[in-house]
């Protein structure tokens, strides 16, 4: 019988606003923080026996270049004998890292893996192509924070290069999701996040980040920076960001953020040998492709795939974490999965609209939150699912142990 893959520990940094509290932290240093925390929290582990460090990261054009997983593990103090790999499935990278770790453990090729993700969207660099001909004066120059750059004209002609907000507008039209419904979902996300923050749920999954100060003690950032007090009136007053008749606004979209997350994934034998207590079983992962113009609907076919793989059903999911890239996208996915807007099992501690969406880290954050919600509610199964730019979806099922 093949071994099972378990999550024994999970920790993340606070999520910072764009240009906010974490803006001065290099991406590789940011990724090292939750890894170092896992090492400190689990002193009985022989880290020389670590099979791999797998981190998701969507940009990899700046301080996250040269394999940020490897750099972060070394900066965290991991032995140099421990390997590291960075994977990129854009927004789904952190969730894919966890699923990839689980597959390696289930195959028997690995026993103990740190998996997670990182993104510093604040520190994403500007990028520039080299000239195609000698002495050329023309050039291409892009901000790599998010979205398309160095576009292939064939891709543009065949599939379009709709921006992320434009893909959400496409879903709003297709599924007839009005602006008010989107704003109400955004308000729900903010209220849930603020309540969870007040109840200490977020604090239990966060490790502080110390920001050095010249001539003074470091500042400790120990809470998510993105949630905010708002109202339906405020949200409804915001202008659209795609076109004058659009419904997508800064208030009903996820943030541009900084953050990192890491989880300890192992098989049962390694858990026993290292004195670890499994908290959740990684049941299965599935991915699916969709039309790039409608990328936000990707969680629907991905979830259908993972249900088919496991024989489980949506009705058996006690906790659902849908990454809120946009309210319109989240509501479209809920309709596609047969979920009601007032279903309390969905994102009950807030989602990406309130907490933020540091691309490569968000999937790992979903799993961390889902596991904590399962244990808090003493429920059994959780679904974590995300849409992905250029038209994909990814879904993972967890079981509390």
Active site residues: 91, 357, 387
The Cα–Cα gap between 110 and 101 comes to 8
43, 12 contact by CB (below 8 A): no
The Cα–Cα gap between 169 and 147 comes to 16
The Cα–Cα gap between 285 and 10 comes to 18
Tokens of residue 13, six digits:
């940094």
The Cα–Cα gap between 12 and 5 comes to 20
User: CB 61: neighbour CB atoms within 10 A?
Assistant: 16
The Cα–Cα gap between 60 and 86 comes to 9
Per DSSP, 3 falls in state P
Which stretches of 32-182 are assigned E, i.e. beta strand? 52-56, 84-87, 112-120, 126-128, 141-143
The Cα–Cα gap between 26 and 63 comes to 7
Residues with Cβ within 8 Å of 376's Cβ and at least 6 positions away in sequence, in order, are: 201
Q: How many helices (H) and strands (E) does the chain have?
A: 12, 14
C-alpha neighbours within 13 Å on the C-beta side of residue 320: 23
Burial degree of 154 (CB within 10 A; 0-12, 13-18, 19+): exposed
128, 141 contact by CB (below 8 A): yes
Tokens of residue 10, six digits:
């999970």
| The residue count for the chain | 401
């Amino acid at each position: 019988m093949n071994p099972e893959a378990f999550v024994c520990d999970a920790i993340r940094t606070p999520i910072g606003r764009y240009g906010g509290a974490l803006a001065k932290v290099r991406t590789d240093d940011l990724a090292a923080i939750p890894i170092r925390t896992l090492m400190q929290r689990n002193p009985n582990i022989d880290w020389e026996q670590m099979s791999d460090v797998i981190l998701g990261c969507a940009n990899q054009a700046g301080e996250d270049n040269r394999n940020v997983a490897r750099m972060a593990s070394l900066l965290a103090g991991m032995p140099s004998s421990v390997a590291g790999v960075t994977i990129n499935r854009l927004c789904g990278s952190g969730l894919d890292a966890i699923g990839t770790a689980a597959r390696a453990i289930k195959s028997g090729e690995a026993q103990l893996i740190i998996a997670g993700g990182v993104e510093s969207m604040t520190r994403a660099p500007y990028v520039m192509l080299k000239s195609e001909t000698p002495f050329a004066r023309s050039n291409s120059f892009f901000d790599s924070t998010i979205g398309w750059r160095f576009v292939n004209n064939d891709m543009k002609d065949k599939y379009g290069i709709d921006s992320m907000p434009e893909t959400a507008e496409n879903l709003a039209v297709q599924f007839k999701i009005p602006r008010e419904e989107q704003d109400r979902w955004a308000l729900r996300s903010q209220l849930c996040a603020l309540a969870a923050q007040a109840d200490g749920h977020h604090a239990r999954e966060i490790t502080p980040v110390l920001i050095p100060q010249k001539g003074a003690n470091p500042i400790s950032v120990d809470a998510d920076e993105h949630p905010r007090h708002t109202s339906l009136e405020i949200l409804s007053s915001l202008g659209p960001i795609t076109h004058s008749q659009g419904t997508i606004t800064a208030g009903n979209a996820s943030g541009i953020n900084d953050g990192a997350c890491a989880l300890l994934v192992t098989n049962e034998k390694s858990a026993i040998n290292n004195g670890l207590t499994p908290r959740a079983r990684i049941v299965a992962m599935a991915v699916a492709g969709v039309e790039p113009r409608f990328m936000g609907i990707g969680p629907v076919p991905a979830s259908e795939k993972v249900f088919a793989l496991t024989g489980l059903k949506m009705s058996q999911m006690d906790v659902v974490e849908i990454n809120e890239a946009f309210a319109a996208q989240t509501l479209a996915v809920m309709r596609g999965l047969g979920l009601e807007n007032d279903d309390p099992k969905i994102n009950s501690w807030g989602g990406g609209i309130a907490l933020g969406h540091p691309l490569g880290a968000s999937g790992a954050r979903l799993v961390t939150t889902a596991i904590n919600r399962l244990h808090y509610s003493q429920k059994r199964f959780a679904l974590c699912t995300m849409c992905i730019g250029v038209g994909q979806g990814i879904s993972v099922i967890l079981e509390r142990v």
